């Protein structure tokens, strides 16, 4: 009887010890430093989605990157599926968000824009209404394909049509947000849209210049989808972003937009031996290395990682280095922060 009682006490003691350890782990998780706390002054970028359309157990969100200017989240580059969740995980407050850039309008780059805009008004309320009621949210992305382009190129709307279809006060599918914004956020939903001509021959153009922040764009090839690559400059530092592209252009467009960039985030969806159709949409590691080398990029970040490249990133890196690129190479992961202070 005593032995049975002692055995029970030992079991109960072990269970209590395990519970205490689990509780301690839970507490430690909450004490873990949030991604937003790693952002420093100057120009920074947080990876919100380093993955692609395929949902895999690795758990990468689709494409999305937040640009911080002196610790303020100001520019969102792409808003693919899962980016909303990463914003939540990061601990950031997006009430100051000024600009959303769409490299193109594939759903893995634009699918989360509605919940993100809605969250901004909740964040504004939580932040004590810091957003100026007259502040305008700027949406910028590619124009439509030229009229002579054959289908399926003509199936892509302009960014203006895309955003108005979501947020127009009368006809938008999210028109209610105009009322919601006043009630929940205490501010109106003010926005404008710029559809940038994506003709690959037009070169690098400045599409935004305000308070020392400069955004530039250039058209890049991505199959039938009108697409742009971007460059953000602030205080002598620069971040370039390829979006999705084959990077094969007679004008060397990715080289031009990436020239002397401190950081280049690149489409890493395929391998050198990957065939069609993916080879007609994305950049091979060898071409990526050539661009980074010829543009004199300081730091190359491999992102938009797919099941094709997920387990071959070391080989991708080797192919890049074989081109003669001497800069730093990093493999992106969600919530990773790169500070250019």
Residue 296 near residue 259, CB atoms below 8 Å: yes
CA 326, CA 312: separation in Å to the nearest integer? 20
Residue in 115, 120, 129 with CA at minimum distance from that of residue 98? 120
Q: Is the peptide bond before 51 cis (omega within 30 degrees of 0)?
A: no
pLDDT of the residue at 301? 98
**Beta strands 72-79 and 191-196: pairing type?**
unpaired
CA 19, CA 205: separation in Å to the nearest integer? 59
Sign of dihedral through CA atoms 15, 18, 19, 20? positive
Residue 144 near residue 116, CB atoms below 8 Å: no
3-state secondary structure of 227: strand
pLDDT of the residue at 149? 84
Q: Residue 161: which H helix or E strand, with range?
A: helix 159-167
Could you tell me the CATH superfamily of domain 41-339?
Answer: Ribonuclease Z/Hydroxyacylglutathione hydrolase-like (3.60.15.10)
pLDDT of the residue at 129? 66
pLDDT of the residue at 245? 96
CA 90, CA 168: separation in Å to the nearest integer? 29
pLDDT in tens, 212-256: 999 999 999 999 999 999 999 999 999 999 999 998 876 799 999
Which parts of the chain have pLDDT scores under 50? Answer: 1-28
Q: Running DSSP on this structure, what letter comes out for residue 340?
A: -
pLDDT of the residue at 314? 97
pLDDT of the residue at 150? 86
Note the helical H segments in 63-144.
Answer: 83-90, 107-110, 113-126
Sign of dihedral through CA atoms 255, 104, 268, 332? positive
3-state secondary structure of 196: strand
CA 218, CA 231: separation in Å to the nearest integer? 9
């Amino acid at each position: 009887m005593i032995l049975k009682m002692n055995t029970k006490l030992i079991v109960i003691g072990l269970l209590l010890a395990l519970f205490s350890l689990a509780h301690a782990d839970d507490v430690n998780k909450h004490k873990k430093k949030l991604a937003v706390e790693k952002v420093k002054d100057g120009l920074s970028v947080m990876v919100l989605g380093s993955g692609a359309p395929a949902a895999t157990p690795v758990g990468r969100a689709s494409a999305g990157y937040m640009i911080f200017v002196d610790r303020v989240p100001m520019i969102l580059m792409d808003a693919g599926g899962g980016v909303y969740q990463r914003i939540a995980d990061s601990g950031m407050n997006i009430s100051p968000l000024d600009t959303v850039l769409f490299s193109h309008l594939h759903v893995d780059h634009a699918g989360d824009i509605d919940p993100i805009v809605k969250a901004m008004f909740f964040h504004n309320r939580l932040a004590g209404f810091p957003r100026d009621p007259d502040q305008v949210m700027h949406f910028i992305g590619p124009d439509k394909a030229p009229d002579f382009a054959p289908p399926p190129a003509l199936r892509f709307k302009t960014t203006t049509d895309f955003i108005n279809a979501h947020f127009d006060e009368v006809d938008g599918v999210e028109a209610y947000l105009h009322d919601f914004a006043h009630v929940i956020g205490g501010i109106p939903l003010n926005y404008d849209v710029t559809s940038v001509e994506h003709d690959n021959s037009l070169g690098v153009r400045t599409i935004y210049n305000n308070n020392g922040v400069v955004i530039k764009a250039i058209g890049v090839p991505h199959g039938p989808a009108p697409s742009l690559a971007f460059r953000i400059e602030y205080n002598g530092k620069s971040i370039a972003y390829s979006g999705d592209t084959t990077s094969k252009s007679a004008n060397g467009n990715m080289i031009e937009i990436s020239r002397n960039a401190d950081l280049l985030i690149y489409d890493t969806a395929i391998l050198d031996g990957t065939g069609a159709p993916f080879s007609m949409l994305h950049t091979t590691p060898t071409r990526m290395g050539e661009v980074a080398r010829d543009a004199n990029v300081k730091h190359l970040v491999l992102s938009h990682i797919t099941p094709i490249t997920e387990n071959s990133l070391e080989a991708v890196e080797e192919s890049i280095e074989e081109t003669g690129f001497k800069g730093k190479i990093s493999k992106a992961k969600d919530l990773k922060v790169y500070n250019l202070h």
